[in-house]
C-alpha cells in the first residue's frame, strides 16, 4: 500500500503537492481526489459555513456534505466567500437513497442550487434504495444527470455510499461499464481485520477500481468509550509519542497511508490544523501492523444509526 502523490494538472488545479488519489471520472478519465477533506455531518448551515471558511484558511481544498445534512447552503456560502477559483477545490455531496427517478433528479438539481455551483466533483448516492427497480432508476438517473447536456458535466465523478457487493454487482449487471468512482463507508482503526461484510466488501470494491473512502475515521459518532479511543486511547497515543503526533493524527494517518481519503469533522481551528497535518510523517510497518491488527473500536452502530454491517442484510432506508 502506498499513497499516490500527484501534482494537480489539467482540470483539477489543487495546490501543488496536495495529497490526492486518482479516481475514475464520469468520462472514464482519471481525476485527482484529495486525501484530506472536511466532513460536515450534523453541522447546520452557519456552523458548516464557519467551519469550512476556517478549514480553507488552513489549506483544506475538499469538503464533504450531503442533501440530508441540510447544510449545503452554508457550504456554498463559504465557497463563494473564499474567493477561490472553482477549479481550486473539490466538493463531494450526496443525493438521498431510495428516491424514484424524478425525485432523484430534483434532489440532484437542488444540491447544485444550494451549493451555488455549476458542478460538483463527486456526487454519491447516499445509501442503496429498498428495491432493485428503485436502485437501478436512481443510478441511471445519476449517470445521465452527471453527463449534463450542452452546458457540460454536472458531476466530474459519481459513486455510492453504504453499498455492498451485491448492490454493486447489480449496477454492473445493467451497466457493465458503469464509472463508479467511490464507495464511502465507515472505516477506522479497529476495522483493519474486520469481515468484508462489515467493511462493505472493501476488497471487492478495490478489485473493481472503486476507491474505498472512509467516514467516521475517528469513530466520532460511536458510543462511549469508542468515541474517544482514536483520539486519546492508549494505542494511538503511544504510537503518536514516537512521531510527536496526536492520537487522532496517528488514526487518520493509518488511513491515508493506505491511499484512502478521510473527511474528519472539526469546527475547532486547532483540530482542523491537526487533522490536516498528516503528510510530514510516515508510520513504520510495525506501527501500521499494530494499528491494522486492532479489533477495537469495532465497526458499530450507535443510538443514532443502526449497525452499518446491516446495510448488506436489509434494504436500508433510514435517515442519515
Ligand atoms: C447552529 O448550530 C449551532 C451549534 O449547535 C447553534 O449554536 C446555532 O444556534 C445553530 N443555528 C441555527 C440557525 O439553528
Ligand atoms: C416519485 O417520488 C415523488 C416523491 O416521493 C412522488 O411525489 C412522485 O409521485 C413519484 N413519481 C412517480 C412517477 O412515482
Ligand atoms: C512537536 O510538535 C509540536 C506541535 O506540532 C511542535 O510545536 C514541536 O516543535 C514538536 N517537537 C519536536 C521535538 O519536533
Is the CB of 47 within 6 Å of ligand 1? yes
Q: Is residue 69 annotated as part of the catalytic site, yes or no?
A: yes
Beta pairing class for 90-95 and 20-24: unpaired
Query: Residue 201 is inside which H or E element, if any?
Result: none
**CA 146, CA 248: separation in Å to the nearest integer?**
35
Q: Is the pLDDT of residue 150 over 80?
A: no
Residue nearest to atom 3 of ligand 1 (CA): 47
The CB of 284 under 6 Å from ligand 1? The reply is no
pLDDT in tens, 241-256: 999 999 999 999 999 9
pLDDT digits (tens, 9 = 90+) for 69-85: 999 999 999 999 999 99
Q: Are 69 and 95 in contact (CB under 8 A)?
A: no
Indicate if ligand 2 lies below 6 Å from the C-beta of 237.
no
Quote the pLDDT of residue 1: 40
Ligand 2 geometric centre to CA of 102 (Å): 7
Q: How confident is the model at residue 309 (pLDDT cuts 50, 70, 90)?
A: low
At 140, list the grid cell.
441511471
Closest-lying ligand 1 atom to the alpha carbon of residue 43: 2
pLDDT reported for residue 26 = 96
Q: How confident is the model at residue 149 (pLDDT cuts 50, 70, 90)?
A: confident
Distances (CA, A) of 112 to 50, 73, 104, 155, 223: 20, 10, 13, 10, 34
Distance 66 CA to ligand 1 centre (A): 18
pLDDT for the residue 223 = 87
pLDDT tens digits, residue range 279-296?
A: 999 999 999 999 999 999
Q: Of ligand 2's atoms, which has the minimum distance to the CA of residue 99?
A: 2
Q: Which atom of ligand 1 is nearest to the CA of 44?
A: 1
Lowest mean pLDDT among 162-171, 215-224, 311-320: 311-320
**What confidence tens digit (pLDDT) does each residue in 171-209 have?**
999 999 999 999 999 999 999 998 888 898 999 999 999
pLDDT of residue 30: 96
Q: How confident is the model at residue 148 (pLDDT cuts 50, 70, 90)?
A: confident
* Mean pLDDT for the chain overall: 91
**Average pLDDT for 95-117:** 98
Query: What distance in angstroms lies between residue 278's CA and the mean position of ligand 3's atoms?
Result: 14
Return the pLDDT at 120: 98
What is the pLDDT, as a whole number, of residue 313? 60
Q: Which of 18, 43, 60, 69 is catalytic?
A: 69
pTM for this structure?
0.93
Please say whether the dihedral angle defined by the alpha carbons of residues 41, 44, 49 and 55, taken in this order, is positive or negative: negative
Amino acid at each position: 500500500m502506498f499513497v499516490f502523490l500527484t501534482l494537480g494538472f489539467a482540470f483539477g488545479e489543487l495546490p501543488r503537492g496536495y495529497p490526492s488519489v486518482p479516481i475514475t471520472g464520469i468520462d472514464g478519465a482519471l481525476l485527482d481526489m484529495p486525501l484530506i477533506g472536511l466532513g460536515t455531518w450534523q453541522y447546520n448551515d452557519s456552523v458548516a459555513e464557519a467551519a469550512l471558511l476556517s478549514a480553507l484558511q488552513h489549506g483544506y481544498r475538499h469538503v464533504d456534505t450531503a442533501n440530508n445534512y441540510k447544510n449545503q447552503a452554508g457550504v456554498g456560502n463559504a465557497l463563494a466567500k473564499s474567493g477561490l477559483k472553482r477549479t481550486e477545490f473539490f466538493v463531494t455531496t450526496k443525493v438521498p437513497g431510495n428516491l424514484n427517478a424524478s425525485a432523484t433528479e430534483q434532489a440532484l438539481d437542488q444540491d447544485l442550487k444550494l451549493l451555488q455551483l455549476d458542478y460538483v466533483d463527486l456526487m454519491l448516492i447516499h445509501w442503496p434504495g429498498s428495491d432493485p427497480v428503485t436502485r437501478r432508476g436512481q443510478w441511471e438517473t445519476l449517470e445521465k444527470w452527471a453527463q449534463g447536456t450542452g452546458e457540460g458535466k454536472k458531476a466530474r465523478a459519481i459513486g455510492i455510499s453504504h453499498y455492498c457487493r451485491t448492490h454493486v454487482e447489480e449496477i454492473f449487471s445493467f451497466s457493465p461499464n458503469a464509472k463508479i468512482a467511490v464507495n464511502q463507508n465507515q472505516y477506522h482503526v479497529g476495522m483493519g481485520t474486520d469481515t468484508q461484510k462489515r467493511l462493505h466488501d472493501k476488497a471487492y470494491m478495490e478489485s473493481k477500481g472503486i476507491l474505498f473512502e472512509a467516514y467516521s475515521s475517528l469513530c466520532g459518532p460511536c458510543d462511549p468509550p469508542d468515541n474517544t479511543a482514536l483520539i486519546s486511547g492508549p494505542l494511538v497515543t503511544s504510537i503518536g509519542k514516537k512521531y510527536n503526533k496526536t492520537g487522532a493524527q496517528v488514526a487518520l494517518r493509518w488511513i491515508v497511508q493506505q491511499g484512502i481519503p478521510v473527511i474528519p469533522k472539526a469546527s475547532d481551528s486547532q483540530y482542523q490544523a491537526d487533522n490536516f497535518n498528516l503528510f510530514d510523517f510516515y508510520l513504520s510497518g510495525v506501527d501500521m501492523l499494530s494499528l491494522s491488527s486492532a479489533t477495537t473500536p469495532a465497526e458499530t452502530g450507535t443510538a443514532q444509526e443502526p449497525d452499518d454491517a446491516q446495510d448488506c442484510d436489509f434494504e436500508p432506508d433510514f435517515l442519515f
